[in-house]
Amino acid sequence: MKKIYLLLCFLAFYTLLLAQVDSTARDTMDLSDMSIEELSKLKSRYKTTEMEKMVTQAIAAASRKPLSLKRSPSIVSVITAEDIEKSGARDIIDVFQQVPGIDFNVDVQGVVGISIRGLWANEGKVLLLLDGQEMNETAYSTLIFGNNYNISQIKKIEVIRGPGSAIYGGYAEYAVINIISKSAEDINGVEANVIIGQTTNTYARQNVGLAIGKKVNNLSFSMSTLIGRGQRSNSIYTDIHGNSFDMKNNADLNPTNLNLGLSYKGFSARFIYDMLETTTRDAYIDAMSKAYSTNFGTYMAEAKYIQKINTNFQLQGKLNYKRCTPWLVTDIIDSIDAYPNYKIIADRYRFNLAAIWDAKYWLNITSGAEMYYDDAQKPDIHGNPQVFARDNTNRVRYFNYAAFVQSLIKSRFANITLGARYDLNSATGAAFNPRLGITKRVGKFNFKGLYASSYRAPGIENIQLSISPVMKPERTRTYEIETGLQINRNSYLSLSFYDISTQNAIRYVVDTTSFADTPEGYLNSDKVISTIGGEMEYKYKSSLGFINLAYAYYSVLDGKNDAANEVSIDKYANLGIANHKLTVFTGVNMGRLFYIAPSAILLDRRYGYTSLDTQGNPVLTTYTPQMQFNIYIGCNNLVRGLSFGMGVYNITNEAILYIQPYNGLHGDYPGMGTEIIFKLKYNITFKDEQ
């Protein structure tokens, strides 16, 4: 343990030392604040650094009108393609470890989901967009993470660490993640990538990706695909009753993904097919006699058109279709395990129309309306009929209507964002969500003050499996402040603080007295759930290398919790989620071609109910701090178009554990042990036509 702490201290010292090498570089300012004369004088002095580009780039997810990172009316983390490549990330979980406030926990049936700011957020509380398409499945609104995104084809990820319901509606209660793929112009050719991961006793992942893209005049086309296989762990899983099994060959993660994009002038279209085939043996509570297939499939299509009426006014229309078949289990015929077949086909049709008007040089107004229609059915399985629990029919339908408005105001005092969205749902009623953001720049500092109301719309099965007579939407109010400092041309520091309170929290309830093998259902909590906390993000980037430091802290407000999440011996913590988290991602360029990137992740102690006493009562377990160390060595363009790298993840073979963040009687779920990875990427660039 002492050696691990010494290694962590060395990493922290090393990152600070690297940062000081370029501390004498000339400071810069936000280029968007400079006059034409100042810009012309500045042009000959120095070239814009990568850090300057990052803090002045347009952020699309936080506002309907893109604004720079400093002016964006949200607390945002940005991860670039270079950050992903040089960190040696294996999948999207590794990528999100770089973001303060994000954690991962186990749900049920082998699914690892997301928590944010001390709150379990996997069921409909975080909206994940891939090229504008909603990746939350429609039945329960969940997200599934692990070996299922082609990270080599990601251009940029924008993470709004705060609510986005005023823009996006009912999945953006706590956060919004916007994944932007490389465009046709970015690819401009053919690109292939391979990632192989191996542990001491089995394979960890074997994935192959391919992308092609080309722009000719006003026509652009891009395609990317991913196919492969992987495993969640090579360790032993033990359920709450003490029954164990080897997760090797019992926790598959096999992705198939296709992403097609087409655009011509103001028209664009996209189609995404995403299938993650998994196997699970952990079920809800009891370990089963064998592993069963549990698959998550999604088809998505979008057509979008932008019509510019004049230089100051444009209309945007979007039509979306999404079909989900999540949590699909159909291979159980004769089984001794209490694990039922399940199949749902959930279709969502959405239409969105928005008008964007630059009324004055200091005033932008965006307004519009949206409607979506959910149509879900449960077909027969092996001749056996299925029905929805509440309606007692095999088909249900819901409508949602929404109107929204947002104004951006520039003044001498500050930049002000004021907006709201009103939703009316046929099953859960109305929700009104206002939003206010004030941003100000003073010299090297920038300040943000933010308030937002948000909500989580219950999913189809949340409604149908409701214990309460009426399932209400969750309602959350969030206060945030942030201070950013451009230390010099190559480094940027931000500090943020938040206060989150949620009413009518939708809870997944398990009978903890009889230890039933199936969940009881959903209900609205009668208590207010609240966390407060702070986050720090420091980024350094230069020709020498890069440093990404992220620290997050949360605390439960005294008494503002409920039985589903509370820790009896620590009133300031929630189940499964560490109060403190520190991540260190660094890289040093070793000449023109090679670089070395060590990284470390430290989680404070955590709590979980993962065993029973002699009377059959749940026993609270305290988990010691978890520390993971990794190292990656990469090479760019050894020969033209060829890049490769090798790395070791979890060098010390730490017992990486995903703990259930609510009292659902699920055992702690082990992650992968020491894994050696090899990554290869090769691209052929198309010649430009004269």
- In sequence order, what E strands does 489-617 have? 491-503, 506-509, 521-524, 529-542, 545-556, 580-590, 594-603, 606-612
* pLDDT at residue 31 in the model: 45
Q: What is the pTM of this model?
A: 0.92
* pLDDT at residue 22 in the model: 44
Which amino acid does the sequence have at 625?
P
Collapsing DSSP to helix, strand or coil, 168 comes out as helix
472, pLDDT greater than 70: yes
The token pair that represents 566 in the structure block: 């509370």
Q: How far is Cα 626 from Cα 610, in angstroms, rounded to an integer?
A: 17
Q: How far is Cα 545 from Cα 590, in angstroms, rounded to an integer?
A: 9
* pLDDT at residue 559 in the model: 77
41, pLDDT greater than 60: no
* pLDDT at residue 572 in the model: 95
The answer to whether position 564 is within a domain reads yes
* pLDDT at residue 68 in the model: 80
The token pair that represents 199 in the structure block: 């542990």
* pLDDT at residue 513 in the model: 55
Close Cβ partners of 357 (under 8 Å, ≥ 6 residues apart) = 312, 313, 364, 365, 366
pLDDT digits (tens, 9 = 90+) for 99-144: 999 999 999 999 999 999 999 999 999 999 999 999 999 999 999 9
663, pLDDT greater than 80: yes
Overall average pLDDT of the 635-656 stretch: 92
* Nearest Cα to Cα of residue 427 among 395, 387, 392, 396: 396
389, pLDDT greater than 60: yes
What residues form DSSP beta bridges with 601?
583, 628
Overall average pLDDT of the 640-656 stretch: 94
Collapsing DSSP to helix, strand or coil, 495 comes out as strand
The answer to whether position 690 is within a domain reads no
* Nearest Cα to Cα of residue 667 among 288, 237, 169: 237
The answer to whether position 293 is within a domain reads yes
Chain centroid to CA 488: how far? 30
> Is residue 70 a contact partner of residue 441, using CB atoms and an 8 Å limit?
yes
59, pLDDT greater than 90: no
405, pLDDT greater than 70: yes
* pLDDT at residue 337 in the model: 87
Q: How far is Cα 274 from Cα 296, in angstroms, rounded to an integer?
A: 8
Return the CATH number at 224. Answer: 2.40.170.20
Q: How far is CA 439 from CA 150, 177, 481, in A?
A: 35, 21, 10
Please compute Rg for the chain using Cα positions: 25
* pLDDT at residue 47 in the model: 65
The answer to whether position 495 is within a domain reads yes
* Nearest Cα to Cα of residue 627 among 651, 647, 661, 607: 651
Phi, psi of 2 (to 5 degrees): -65, -40
pLDDT digits (tens, 9 = 90+) for 136-192: 999 999 999 999 999 999 999 999 999 999 999 889 999 999 999 999 999 999 999
- Positive or negative, the Cα torsion across 88, 135, 370, 423? negative
* Nearest Cα to Cα of residue 423 among 403, 453, 405, 406: 403
- Positive or negative, the Cα torsion across 12, 15, 18, 19? negative
Close Cβ partners of 678 (under 8 Å, ≥ 6 residues apart) = 194, 195, 196, 197, 644, 645, 646
576, pLDDT greater than 50: yes
Percentage of residues in the chain having pLDDT higher than 90: 76
> Is residue 456 a contact partner of residue 125, using CB atoms and an 8 Å limit?
yes
Which amino acid does the sequence have at 602?
L
Close Cβ partners of 375 (under 8 Å, ≥ 6 residues apart) = 346, 347, 348, 349, 395, 397
The answer to whether position 488 is within a domain reads yes
Collapsing DSSP to helix, strand or coil, 277 comes out as strand
Chain centroid to CA 13: how far? 30
Greatest Cα pair distance in the chain: 80
Task: For residue 464, give the H/E element and its range.
Answer: helix 460-464
* pLDDT at residue 332 in the model: 85
Q: How far is Cα 156 from Cα 143, in angstroms, rounded to an integer?
A: 19
The answer to whether position 287 is within a domain reads yes
Close Cβ partners of 154 (under 8 Å, ≥ 6 residues apart) = 81, 84, 95, 179, 180, 181, 182
* pLDDT at residue 16 in the model: 43
375, pLDDT greater than 50: yes
Q: Is 363 or 640 the better-scoring residue by pLDDT?
A: 363
pLDDT digits (tens, 9 = 90+) for 490-508: 999 999 999 999 999 998 8
Task: For residue 158, give the H/E element and its range.
Answer: strand 154-160
Q: Label each residue of 258-275 as H, E or C.
A: EEEEEEECCEEEEEEEEE
pLDDT digits (tens, 9 = 90+) for 592-633: 899 999 999 999 999 999 888 888 888 999 999 999 999 999
pLDDT digits (tens, 9 = 90+) for 221-264: 999 999 999 999 999 999 999 999 999 999 999 999 999 999 99
Number of domain units in the chain: 1
Close Cβ partners of 197 (under 8 Å, ≥ 6 residues apart) = 90, 203, 204, 205, 206, 230, 649, 672, 675, 676, 677, 678
Q: How far is Cα 291 from Cα 278, in angstroms, rounded to an integer?
A: 10
467, pLDDT greater than 90: no
* pLDDT at residue 600 in the model: 96
75, pLDDT greater than 70: yes
The answer to whether position 101 is within a domain reads yes
The answer to whether position 335 is within a domain reads no
The token pair that represents 201 in the structure block: 């006793």
pLDDT digits (tens, 9 = 90+) for 673-687: 999 999 999 999 987
Residue 559: count other Cβ atoms within 10 Å of its Cβ: 10
Domain of 438, in residue numbers = 2-327+351-685
Give the pLDDT band of residue 66 (cuts 50, 70, 90): confident
Overall average pLDDT of the 50-77 stretch: 78
* Nearest Cα to Cα of residue 177 among 193, 152, 195, 154: 154
23, pLDDT greater than 70: no
Overall average pLDDT of the 347-368 stretch: 95
